[in-house]
Structure formats: C-alpha cells, structure tokens
C-alpha cells in the first residue's frame, strides 16, 4: 500500500492484535516492563509524513530521556507500518516508575499529547494513567475526555488533523532556532 491509501478497520484491528502478540513475546523474552509507543492520529491515513515526523521525534526524545535517567533500554525496535508507526522498548525498571516517567513525557513535551506511551508490566498487564492518579487525556480541541469525543465523533477528522499539524509546525519551527 502507498502512503495515500487509507486503511480499513480490519487492518487496524489486525495491527492491534499483532502489536499485543509482539508485546507478549517481548515481555516473555525479557521478563521486564515494556514501553509501546504509537502516534495519536485520527482517520484512515496512519502512515504519513506527519505521523512519521511525530513518531521519530518521540522515539528520539524517549531514548534521550531514558539515557539521561540511567534507564538504558535492553531492547528498542521501531516499525513503520501502513497502520502507523510503532516502537517497542524494554527497560529494566519498576513498571510504575516507568509509567510515571512516560506520563511526564506526555505532559511536558510539546509533542507529548500526540504520542501514546503504553507501559506493560512484566505480568503482561497495561499500567493505566488512573492507577497513578492521572486524569484521562483531554481532547485536543475541547475540555472533554478524549475517548468520549473520539467515540461520539464530536469533531471532524479535518479539524483534529489541523490541530495536530499546528502543534507539530509550532514545535519544529521552534527547534530550528535552538
């Protein structure tokens, strides 16, 4: 498939199932927590220049911050799929500390809201935001919980993509002069 071909629901569901299998295999292999990174891009077009740019910056930021904190990844894999980019990072760390770490990245980095860092514990369970007393993510366009807006399709995909483009443009424009 080319970059301009939209993906189907079946492709997304299959990709999600394959991602879960990959996560389970890595957890079994390393017996350590895993960070799974994807990009929050609405719509049928997941493999785009924009999603790749956000993803690569997210991977670079994650790698840099892990190294700065002495959490050297035991395994790091990036995949650019038609259903969107994915990264898998195995870290020898406490899974709750790791979740706190990625929640801080999501909160503090200008592109953090566009990234989805899941932390899966060595027992195979996803560590939720709520377990660490973090609120649910807010919509990019209003103050409602993001999942409520997504399920109800409260905003058009075009408006969401415009906002994502605006966030990304502002971030990269600021980096040129640093």
Position of tokens 């891009």? Answer: 41
Fold of 9-135: Alpha-Beta Plaits (3.30.70)
Q: Is the dihedral of CA 32, 95, 77, 3 positive or negative?
A: positive
- pLDDT tens-digit readout, 55-76: 999 999 999 999 999 999 999 9
Question: Which two structure tokens, joined as six digits, stand for 135?
Answer: 């609120």
Which pTM was predicted? 0.89
- pLDDT tens-digit readout, 109-128: 999 999 999 999 999 999 99
Task: Please report, for the chain, the start and end positions of each structural domain, with discontinuous segments joined by +.
Answer: 9-135
Question: Which two structure tokens, joined as six digits, stand for 176?
Answer: 């040129």
DSSP-derived 3-state class of residue 92: coil
Q: Which residues of the chain have pLDDT under 50?
A: 1-4, 178
């Amino acid at each position: 498939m080319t970059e301009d071909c939209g993906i189907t629901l079946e492709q997304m569901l299959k990709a999600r199932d394959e991602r879960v299998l990959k996560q389970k295999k890595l957890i079994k292999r390393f017996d350590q927590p895993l960070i799974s990174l994807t990009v929050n891009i609405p719509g049928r077009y997941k493999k785009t220049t924009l999603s790749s740019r956000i993803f690569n910056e997210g991977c670079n930021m994650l790698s840099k911050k892990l190294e700065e904190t002495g959490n050297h990844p035991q395994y790091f894999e990036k995949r650019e799929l038609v259903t969107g980019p994915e990264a898998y990072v195995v870290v020898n760390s406490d899974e709750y500390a790791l979740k706190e770490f990625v929640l801080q990245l999501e909160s503090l980095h200008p592109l953090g809201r566009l990234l989805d860092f899941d932390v899966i514990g060595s027992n195979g369970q996803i560590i939720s935001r709520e377990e660490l007393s973090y609120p649910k993510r807010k919509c990019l366009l209003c103050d409602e919980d993001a999942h409520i807006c997504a399920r109800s399709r409260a905003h058009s995909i075009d408006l969401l993509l415009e906002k994502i483009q605006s966030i990304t443009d502002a971030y990269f424009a600021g980096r040129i002069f640093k």
